[in-house]
């Protein structure tokens, strides 16, 4: 019997204190990036928590084609890419450390790292490494953010890349390209990636008895073919009042097929190996996914701001797996067949109201509402007396739906130029329902307080203290 999430809900309270000395250069040395001494150009420490890499630094990076190349070349840049993981449940725990023009990408599959790989390097105005307190740093384990600022008046440019390889004598290849441009009030980036992978590995299995005489031989060839096409786009609509609406989307379509062919050989009465049977295993998969996300910020006044973000994503995956066995006379009997279809969908919206009564205080409160769904359809056919018969397996068709609400309040206090304190409290309510062959329902609710005390000793050294209460399943 399937039980919805959190079979054993474990409440944990953890206190962590970290002293980060020479934070970004340490990462850089470990990854083989350039150290600050090796870099010539306009690298500026704006304050105790921000380092800016400007145009002179960017122009010196010969061979950098995309914005992603530039990120890899700043000290510690690869650490931002390692931490670039999309959260599977809404936006509340989105710890993506990469911002583009001060905004996180409102997508899951279409991540910020993917977007950077589609932006031309000459369109980047500057790179900002931000540590310490920032309105864009949530109460989390993040120690730094990277903000990639683009030229507002950049012209159109694009890039393309083709590659091919030969594996086991079989040719595979990929083609990808992107274009960034501007049309009126619209800034846009469109990209595609198409690839085909083939492989034909060969397997041999031999068995011998205790006297060293071969009693079994199985030789199989696995023909594999995987194809996928990905299309993505990011758009910014520049409104007359200076505000922006960001929209991004991605579509992925693909299929895969694997077929194993082989012969079974056993000794005959004379001891010679003879073909006694043939085998064929199949694994066929078809899948597609798409998502679209958008965000919008509106300033009512110097002290009040509304922030909206929304996302819809869905994915379907159909898989067939089976095995055939036939006697040499040509009669084919399929031992078993498995059909497995999976559908996932997520709809999430987040609204927050920000009030800044003074330069030292900032209060953000709002809610995030999400509706998630996962449906799994599993069918098993077994061979019985020469006929494939459906096996009576429990929970072969299951749909799980979740309605989740997270209401939150975050207070940011800049105590002085070096010391800041962020405090937050989140109330989460989640209701899960299971339907299909079995029905079940369960709900949870809990409160999650957290704090983040940061002291910036210098642009390269900071002290963070982050007590928080978390719930783990």
Q: Do you know the residue count of the chain?
A: 473
Residue 434 lies in a domain: yes
Tokens of 171: 């040719």
Residue 25 lies in a domain: no
Residue 43 lies in a domain: no
| Domain count across the chain | 1
Averaged pLDDT of the chain: 77
CB 40 within 8 A of CB 59: no
What span, in angstroms and rounded, lies between the C-alpha atoms of 389 and 383? 6
- What's the confidence (pLDDT) of residue 141? 45
- What's the confidence (pLDDT) of residue 213? 80
Residue 47 lies in a domain: no
Query: Which three-class secondary structure state does DSSP give residue 22?
Result: coil
- What's the confidence (pLDDT) of residue 90? 66
- Residue 103 is given by DSSP the state B
State the pLDDT confidence band at 371, using cuts at 50, 70 and 90: very high
Residue 316 lies in a domain: yes
Element (H, E) at 72: helix 67-73
Angle among Cα 411, 417, 419 to the nearest 5 degrees reads 55
Query: Which three-class secondary structure state does DSSP give residue 294?
Result: strand
What span, in angstroms and rounded, lies between the C-alpha atoms of 188 and 172? 31
What span, in angstroms and rounded, lies between the C-alpha atoms of 86 and 88? 6
User: Which string of b and e fits 324-361 if b means at least 16 CB within 10 Å?
Assistant: bbeeeeeeeebeebbbbbeebebebbbebebebeeeee
Tokens of 339: 């059909």
Residue 361 lies in a domain: yes
The single residue listed with the structure tokens 């007359």 is 240
In the predicted model, is pLDDT for residue 48 greater than 50? yes
Lowest mean pLDDT among 118-122, 135-139, 293-297: 135-139
Phi/psi class of residue 384: alpha, beta or left (left: φ > 0; alpha: ψ in -120 to 50)?
beta
Residue 63 lies in a domain: no
Tokens of 73: 């070349």
Domain that holds residue 408: 10-20+157-472
Express each pLDDT in 218-263 by its tens digit. Answer: 777 778 888 999 999 988 898 888 788 989 899 999 999 888 777 7
Task: Specify the higher pLDDT residue, 457 or 176.
Answer: 176
The single residue listed with the structure tokens 């870099």 is 39
Residue 429, φ and ψ in degrees, nearest 5 = -125, 130
Express each pLDDT in 441-453 by its tens digit. Answer: 999 999 999 888 8
In the predicted model, is pLDDT for residue 6 greater than 50? no
Residue 236 lies in a domain: yes
CB 443 within 8 A of CB 420: no
The single residue listed with the structure tokens 């299929």 is 255
Element (H, E) at 319: strand 304-326
Query: Which three-class secondary structure state does DSSP give residue 59?
Result: helix
Q: How many Cβ atoms are within 10 Å of 214's Cβ, its own excluded?
A: 14
State the pLDDT confidence band at 89, using cuts at 50, 70 and 90: low
Calculate Rg over the CA atoms of the chain.
Answer: 28
Tokens of 301: 């006044």
What span, in angstroms and rounded, lies between the C-alpha atoms of 149 and 58? 12
- Mean pLDDT (whole number) for 92-119: 74
In the predicted model, is pLDDT for residue 439 greater than 70? yes
State the pLDDT confidence band at 324, using cuts at 50, 70 and 90: low
- What's the confidence (pLDDT) of residue 316? 95
């Amino acid at each position: 019997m399937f039980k919805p999430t959190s079979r054993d809900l474990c409440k944990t309270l953890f206190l962590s204190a970290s002293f980060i000395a020479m934070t970004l250069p340490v990462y850089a040395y470990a990854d083989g990036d350039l150290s600050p001494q090796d870099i010539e150009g306009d690298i500026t420490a704006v304050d105790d928590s921000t380092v800016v890499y400007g145009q002179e630094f960017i122009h010196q990076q010969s061979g950098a084609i995309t914005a992603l190349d530039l990120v890899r070349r700043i000290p510690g840049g690869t650490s931002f890419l390692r931490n670039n993981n999309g959260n599977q449940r809404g936006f509340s725990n989105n710890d993506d450390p990469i911002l583009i023009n001060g905004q996180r990408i409102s997508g899951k599959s279409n991540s910020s790292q993917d977007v950077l790989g589609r932006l031309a390097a000459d369109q980047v105005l500057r790179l900002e490494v931000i540590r310490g307190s920032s309105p864009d740093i949530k109460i989390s384990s993040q120690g730094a953010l990277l903000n990639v600022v683009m030229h507002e008046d950049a012209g159109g440019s694009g890039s393309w890349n083709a590659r091919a390889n030969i594996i086991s004598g079989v040719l595979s290849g990929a083609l990808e390209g992107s274009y960034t441009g501007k049309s009126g009030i619209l800034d846009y980036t469109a990209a595609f990636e198409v690839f085909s992978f083939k492989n034909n590995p060969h397997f041999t299995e031999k068995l011998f008895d205790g006297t060293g005489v071969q009693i079994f031989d199985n030789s199989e060839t696995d023909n594999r073919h995987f194809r996928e096409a990905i299309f993505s786009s990011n758009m910014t609509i520049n409104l007359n009042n200076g505000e922006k609406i960001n929209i991004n989307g991605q579509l992925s379509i693909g299929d895969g097929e694997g077929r194993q062919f082989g012969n079974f050989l056993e000794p005959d009465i004379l001891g010679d190996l003879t073909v006694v049977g043939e085998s064929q295993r199949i694994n066929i998969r078809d899948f597609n996914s798409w998502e679209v996300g958008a965000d919008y910020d509106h300033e009512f006044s110097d002290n009040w701001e509304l922030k909206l973000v929304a996302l819809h994503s869905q994915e379907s995956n159909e898989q067939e797996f089976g095995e055939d066995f036939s006697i040499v006379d040509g009669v084919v009997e399929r031992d078993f067949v498995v059909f497995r279809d999976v559908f996932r969908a997520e709809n999430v919206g987040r609204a927050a109201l920000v009030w800044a009564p003074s330069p030292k205080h900032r209060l953000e409160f709002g809610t995030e509402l999400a509706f998630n769904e996962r449906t799994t359809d599993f069918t098993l056919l077994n061979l019985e007396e020469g006929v494939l018969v459906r096996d009576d397996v429990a929970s072969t068709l299951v749909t799980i739906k979740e309605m989740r609400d997270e209401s939150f309040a975050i207070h940011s206090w800049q105590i002085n130029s070096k010391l800041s304190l962020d405090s937050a409290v989140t109330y989460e309510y989640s209701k899960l329902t299971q339907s299909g062959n079995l029905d079940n329902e369960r709900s949870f609710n809990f409160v999650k307080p957290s704090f983040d005390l940061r002291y910036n000793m210098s642009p390269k050294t900071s002290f963070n203290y982050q007590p928080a209460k978390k719930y783990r399943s």
